[in-house]
Amino acid sequence: MPRFPETPALLDAATFEAEAAAFAALGNLKAEGPATARDLLRRIERAATIAGEPVLPFKHATLYAVLHELEFDGAVAIAESGPGRRPCYVLATRGRAVLSVGQERWRSAHLVIRAAAAPTESPRP
């Protein structure tokens, strides 16, 4: 699988990747329902490929690690044990709230970055 290009060292890549993994997981749990960590990854990869971005912006291990954080924070809960006693994650109420705030933040950040990077006509004196 191709790797997402590494972020230049001056930026905190770990936090960016962890946040991306967290919101991808929360979004997918909301859209497609409960899943184990492995199934979540498969579903996110499939959705990303359909959307034309087959390279995930985080390593698979990041998603596993972030799920622990989300679980302890109450954003996701373990509903049942999946195959092979794997925990099956379900989106909790707190996770819905975190997701809606995060999606809005990422959407506006994306718009600003695109707008800022596009050439604009400078105002005439």
Closest approach, Cβ 34 to another protein, in A, equals: 17
Between the alpha carbon of residue 44 and those of residues 3, 23, 90, 107, 121, the distances in Å are 15, 11, 15, 18, 39
Stretch near another protein under the rule CB under 8 A, chosen from 46-54, 63-71, 91-99, 102-110: 63-71
Alpha helices in the chain (DSSP H): 13-32, 37-50, 60-73, 93-117
Q: From the list 27, 34, 57, 87, which residue makes contact with another protein (rule: CB under 8 A)? A: 87
Tokens of 29: 């749990």
Question: Looking at 25-33, 66-74, 95-103, 114-122, which segment touches another protein (CB under 8 A)?
Answer: 66-74
Stretch that binds another protein, among 83-91, 98-106, 107-115, 117-125 (CB under 8 A): 83-91
